[in-house]
Amino acid sequence: MPADLIDKLPQMPWRLRFDRDCLIVLRKSLHAVTPEEGCALLLGNSGPEVRVRVVWPCCNVWRPGLQGLEEHPGRGGGGPPSRQTRFALDPREQIAAQRWGRQRGLHVVGSAHSHPGGAPRPSENDRRWVAADGVVVIDAGSGGLAGWWMERSTPRHGFDLASPAKVYSLPLVDLDGASLNSTGLSATNSHCRTTDDGSAPGV
């Protein structure tokens, strides 16, 4: 995510709070494009505890050579890079989400993406391509869900492959403070109301 499109968070939060409806929307939208990686922006309130109030699903617009994002040798599962192992957010969607949120007193507090068939932790390319400090949520489906704080010493307007971001685990909790990390939470085992066919309302 370009540094100038991120609503700057002052410091690493101590945890990330989701309500179950937002979590269902997030997981449904990320997995809708499987086997490709899905992606989304997270809007809400920042502070010592970040609260996600809106999930803004985005299109994965990754393509070879996009914005000069270089590939790290030996990464990406061994096959040629594709949207199954890479993602990029459309800057136009980022601007639209930022404007929409500000009109409602919300901020872009981070982003999320999926790792189909992988692990819910930042890849080497995730760490190298992140442009500024921020919250990242990674959903690996049955592999679990995890939150991370990606930290750059200074925001990057370019991409320095020699300097991957530092990564810190960020606890994910629901509105009651119960842990969501590595739960494999899905619409079928959450306490959220669903429609008769099992899908989340409004997804």
Degrees to nearest 5, angle at CA 192 with 188 and 198: 40
What pTM does this model have?
Answer: 0.77
Q: Looking at residue 9, what is its pLDDT?
A: 52
pLDDT value, residue 155: 53
User: What pLDDT is recorded for position 177?
Assistant: 87
Residue 131 is predicted with a pLDDT of 78
Whether the CB-CB separation of 20 and 52 falls below 8 Å is answered with no
Contact 118, 140 (CB under 8 A): yes
pLDDT by residue for the chain (203 residues), tens digit each? Answer: 444 445 555 588 999 999 888 999 999 999 999 999 999 999 999 889 999 999 999 999 888 766 555 555 544 455 678 888 888 898 899 999 999 999 999 999 999 999 998 999 999 888 888 878 889 999 999 889 999 999 976 655 554 555 788 999 999 998 888 887 544 443 323 332 222 333 333 32
Q: Do residues 145 and 183 make contact, with C-beta atoms less than 8 angstroms apart? A: yes
